[in-house]
Amino acid sequence: MPYRSATADILFSLSAVADFPALVEQKLMGDLDWDAVSSVIGEAGRFATAEIAPLNRTGDLSGATYENGVVTAAPGFADVYRHWAEAGWNGVSAPAEFGGMGLPHLVNVACTEIWNGASMAFALCPLLTEGAIGALKAHGSRELTDIYLPPMVSGRWSGTMNLTEPQAGSDLNAVRTRAERAEDGSYRLFGQKIFITYGEHDMAENIVHLVLARLPGASAGTRGLSLFLAPKFLVNADGSLGQPNDLRCAGIEHKLGIHGSPTCVMVYGDNEGAKAWLVGEENRGLAAMFVMMNAARLAVGTQGVAIGDRAYQQALAYARERRQGRSAKGGDGMAPIIERPDVQRMLMTMKANVHAARGICHLTGVSLDLAEYAATESERTAAANRAALLTPIAKAFSTDIGDETTSIGVQVHGGMGFIEETGAAQHMRDSRIAAIYEGANGIHAIDLVQRKLPLAGGETVRNEIAQIRQVASEVAGRGGAGFGATAERLAEASDALEESTRLMLAWLATDQNSALAGASQYLRLFGLTLGGACLAKAGLAAETLAKSGNKTELGRVGLARFFAEKLATAAPGLARAVASGAMPLEPYESILAESA
Ligand SMILES: Cc1cc2nc3c(=O)[nH]c(=O)nc-3n(C[C@H](O)[C@H](O)[C@H](O)COP(=O)(O)OP(=O)(O)OC[C@H]3O[C@@H](n4cnc5c(N)ncnc54)[C@H](O)[C@@H]3O)c2cc1C
């Protein structure tokens, strides 16, 4: 069965989980209506299914190639990118004043899932451009935005994010790339960046690099970092392309997956220095880059959902066709493996986890919209805090789910899953990076615990738990028998989350080591509980539809029940693991010692 974009499920989640139609109809976001949103997402799905999805395999097999500083995109990528950009898709959420569609964040989250489900390697190019557009829009001078944003929004030029250096990965304090002030008010960059996604390629006419670097005399650490814009080709006063800048791609990495996405070593300033312009203020570069990083975090979380859904679709089709053993239903034919309870468990786990992670990404996206469009200042602040709380969960939980789902996808295929021809292994290989880049998931867990739980004196997280409890009570109050023990399991998970949250907040003041040691398990516990609430909301919406005669969505009740009874039941165990705190250092040292 060929892959199809998950537009119907996405639309259902936007509506039932994120309550987006109600928000749109309040006209907070201008003239937009739900029909327009549905039609944009439907069109995106059609484009992705027909044009991008076929690139997924060729991108994996041929990959991007490097020769003498030139990177050539995988076969077909450049043509499809051109069609895609000409159709206006690069500007979904970009501001209308620069040629974008100016649509809400949540519509963009939906489209991001669609592009990444079709081909993650392809979609990474616009994912980075979109982040660069956001950072420039928020912090670039009028002069810079006027020159660079229109061609970036149209997709004629692409963007990159240059943080990482060999000694500076999770810890950007160690960035060494150097910036010098030039007499004309511009700057010159010298240094090397590694792992730069789409740092060089032939799909766009120009590449706009956003680079973190340190000015002379700047303080050590991230407070001494400034953000610069350095184009591949310098731009003439009339907007045409001029001389090549003093920067180059020194090679691309050979990787486990996403072969179609070139991961570049970038060298700045072999000669006179790469000409660059300051974005924002000197020494405030990380704050400016955070706009890009936050957008990219949610987008990367969405990649986990997208690739998980693709793996699920493929596993489902295989399980319907592959026959092994006699059918329990009688007769002498071989039964498709989908009839086996354990295969059903695998498929249900894949689907339920993907839908839960999608719901979390959608809640994060809608919070970003409310942070911008809600009617009052206090609503906007609360929504911004909610988006901040949920972003690390959307990123880390969803990408872990992407890994788990693609791995189960291989398992459903049995031995054929391990054979590259089926493509199941590619999903697993492609998915693996999402838990690592854009901040490794362990770093997001720390961010959640150390910086996000204390937001608004703990009120943001308490509100989130209260909303989950509200969903559990609604299931208990008006949910049908199909929900089984969903309300009870969700209430237990909420208890576990509440207790762990209380402990974490206390430990932040008294025992940082225990807070840090349990951070990843805490994030998982949060994702499971919130994900369970998302599925329960979708199930309740499906029951409401059924009462008005449309029973097609009722499977969502069973999905919510499966998640609550089979997956969210891990929550109390995770809470106990969190509560056990940090192990004393000495046992770890002896257990991890080479001779042990
Ligand atoms: C394919 C690919 C594309 C990429 N694209 C880009 C890009 O476009 N732009 C860019 O700038 N970078 C990019 N990166 C870099 C990526 O963001 C980093 O690899 C990532 O942030 C992790 O840094 P690191 O590899 O140095 O790992 P390390 O920082 O060495 O981390 C290794 C492990 O240690 C853990 N760890 C590290 N510090 C701590 C701590 N304080 N507490 C707890 N655990 C810790 C991490 O969670 C991780 O599990 C890309 C990388 C890859 C592989």
| Cβ contacts of 86-89, under 8 Å, gap ≥ 24 | 86/155, 87/47, 89/44, 89/47, 89/115, 89/126, 89/155
Give the mean model confidence (pLDDT) for residues 120-138. 96
Ligand 1 pocket test target in 127, 130, 167, 195 with most atoms within 8 Å of CB: 195
Query: Catalytic site residue 438?
Result: yes
Report yes or no: 278 and 288 within 8 Å, Cβ to Cβ: no
Question: Is residue 574 packed enough to be buried (19+ CB in 10 Å), middle (13-18) or exposed (0-12)?
Answer: buried
Which residue puts its alpha carbon closest to atom 2 of ligand 1? 195
Question: Is residue 103 packed enough to be buried (19+ CB in 10 Å), middle (13-18) or exposed (0-12)?
Answer: buried
Q: Ligand 1 centre from 391 Cα, in Å?
A: 17
DSSP for 509-542, written as a single string: HH-HHHHHHTHHHHHHHHHHHHHHHHHHHHHHHH
Which residue puts its alpha carbon closest to atom 31 of ligand 1? 170
Ligand 1 pocket test target in 443, 450, 588 with most atoms within 8 Å of CB: 443
**Structure letter (DSSP) for residue 450:** I
Report yes or no: 208 and 133 within 8 Å, Cβ to Cβ: no
Q: Both tokens of residue 5?
A: 């974009």
pLDDT digits (tens, 9 = 90+) for 469-516: 999 999 999 999 999 999 999 999 999 999 999 999 999 999 999 999
Ranges assigned E (strand) in 466-513: none
Residue whose C-alpha is closest to residue 265's, from 179, 361, 199: 199
Q: Both tokens of residue 371?
A: 């942070």
Residue 327: the pLDDT is 79
**Structure letter (DSSP) for residue 259:** T
Give every CB contact of residue 142 below 8 A, 6+ residues apart in sequence: none
- Give residue ranges with CB within 6 A of ligand 1: 161-164, 169-170, 195-197, 255, 263, 433, 436-440, 442-443, 446
**Structure letter (DSSP) for residue 186:** -
Q: Ligand 1 centre from 288 Cα, in Å?
A: 20
Give the mean model confidence (pLDDT) for residues 206-227. 96
pLDDT digits (tens, 9 = 90+) for 352-400: 999 999 999 999 999 999 999 999 999 999 999 999 999 999 999 999 9
Residue 1: the pLDDT is 65
pLDDT-derived band at 438 (thresholds 50, 70, 90) equals: very high
Residue 562: the pLDDT is 98
Strand 247-252 to 241-244 pairing: unpaired
**H/E stretch holding 274:** strand 274-279
Residues 34 and 282: their CA atoms lie apart, in Å, by 43
Ligand 1 pocket test target in 201, 222, 437 with most atoms within 8 Å of CB: 437
Report yes or no: 312 and 354 within 8 Å, Cβ to Cβ: yes
Strand 233-235 to 241-244 pairing: antiparallel
pLDDT-derived band at 595 (thresholds 50, 70, 90) equals: low
Residues 583 and 518: their CA atoms lie apart, in Å, by 10
- pLDDT of 31 > 90? The answer is no
High-pLDDT (> 90) share of the chain, %: 92
Closest ligand 1 atom number to CA of residue 442? 47
Q: Ligand 1 centre from 437 Cα, in Å?
A: 6
Q: How many other CB atoms are there within 10 angstroms of residue 403's CB atom?
A: 20
Residue 332: the pLDDT is 72
Closest ligand 1 atom number to CA of residue 199? 8
From the candidates 130, 404, 438, 543, which is the catalytic residue?
Answer: 438
Report yes or no: 515 and 504 within 8 Å, Cβ to Cβ: yes
Residue 152: the pLDDT is 98
Closest ligand 1 atom number to CA of residue 193? 11
- pLDDT of 596 > 60? The answer is no
Report yes or no: 192 and 156 within 8 Å, Cβ to Cβ: no
pLDDT digits (tens, 9 = 90+) for 508-563: 999 999 999 999 999 999 999 999 999 999 999 999 999 999 999 999 999 999 99
Q: How many other CB atoms are there within 10 angstroms of residue 380's CB atom?
A: 15
CA atoms within 13 A on the CB side of 480: 15
pLDDT-derived band at 262 (thresholds 50, 70, 90) equals: very high
**Structure letter (DSSP) for residue 252:** E
Report yes or no: 175 and 145 within 8 Å, Cβ to Cβ: no
Q: Both tokens of residue 56?
A: 């997924």
pLDDT-derived band at 110 (thresholds 50, 70, 90) equals: very high
Give the mean model confidence (pLDDT) for residues 343-351. 98
